[in-house]
Amino acid sequence: MTSVIDAAPAKPAFRLTRAFQGLERVVVPALLIAGWEAFARSGMLPTALLPAPSAVLHALGDWVFGFDETTQTYSGHWLRDALASALRVFGGFALASALGILAGVAIGWSRLFEKTLEPTLQMLRPIPPVSWIPLAIIWFGIADKPAIFLVFLGAFFPVLMNSIHGVKTVDHNLVRAGAMMGASQRQMLTDIVLPAALPSIFAGLRIAVGSAWMLTVTAEMVAVKSGLGYVLWDSYYFLRYDIVLAAMISIGLLGYLSDLGLKAIMARTLRWQQTTTVQGRAGQADGGNRASQHRQGILRQAARPRSPDAGQHQSRHRGQ
């Protein structure tokens, strides 16, 4: 005798979790702002030295929209100042990214480049970028060029070191398999090594974009007469600490947006990796299969066309 037992209905999902899912990012900022407001109103410091968030927000609003001209000559010119800083960041960051990835891949892949380039670069790396400010002003004058130069110096080495690390830590089984399937050195580099090194390269780019914003502001404070850093430093001289804090908030927001842009590009480029990470989506049990399929795909791609002298290529790889 058989009996049919109806399955108990699934419990409804905890709706509060979904309702507040997007609020976790604002909890810490909200607590910080609330604590800041309470401390500013406590009277422990003069309001001129520590403006309340409401006063800073008012100064930022006038800087952006120019509704009452309380920010003096900066009223309504936030977009102009932010764009000037962003262009300097983009110029130095783009140059540092291109040269950093190129040099890092070359050093990580070739022992010749490693022996000739890395010692000099490692001696230059510990020198603080700000120590180049006097020479940058002498060489380039008071304009955009010294700022772009400093941004380049600050962003170059994070990209370089992460690119070297990414190439050197590629799974050697992938490289050996590619060589056995007849891939040339160029095919192994472009179709196997570079895709596998991309996570490390993107990590370097994210570090570099933060450094780029810091160095841009530093350069604008001493070597440029425009931008967010210049407004910050000029406001300090006029004792407008509300504008100083508004400039700091602007720099932080723009840096955060820059990082979000890089994360979006990284997510699209590394879609094959998302299901194999710790933070991958729950329930995607086939993540390992997808990673395996991706690995097989790059090996098949590297094997086309088949090189007639595959045996020679195997012995030339630095890991052999």
Could you tell me which residues come within 8 angstroms of residue 298 by beta carbon, excluding any fewer than 6 positions away? 174, 191, 192, 195, 196
Query: What pLDDT score does 143 carry?
Result: 83
Q: What is the pTM of this model?
A: 0.77
Query: What pLDDT score does 282 carry?
Result: 44
Query: What pLDDT score does 21 carry?
Result: 64
How far apart are alpha carbons 7 and 240 in whole angstroms?
68
Kindly give the parts of the chain with pLDDT less than 70. 1-22, 69-72, 273-320
User: Residue 239: phi, psi to the nearest 5?
Assistant: 60, 30
Query: What pLDDT score does 166 carry?
Result: 94
Query: What pLDDT score does 213 carry?
Result: 96
Query: What pLDDT score does 24 carry?
Result: 75
Query: What pLDDT score does 286 carry?
Result: 46
How far apart are alpha carbons 59 and 161 in whole angstroms?
41
Query: What pLDDT score does 9 carry?
Result: 52
Query: What pLDDT score does 277 carry?
Result: 54
Residue boundaries of the structural domains of the chain? 73-273+290-316
**CATH for the stretch 73-273+290-316:** 1.10.3720.10
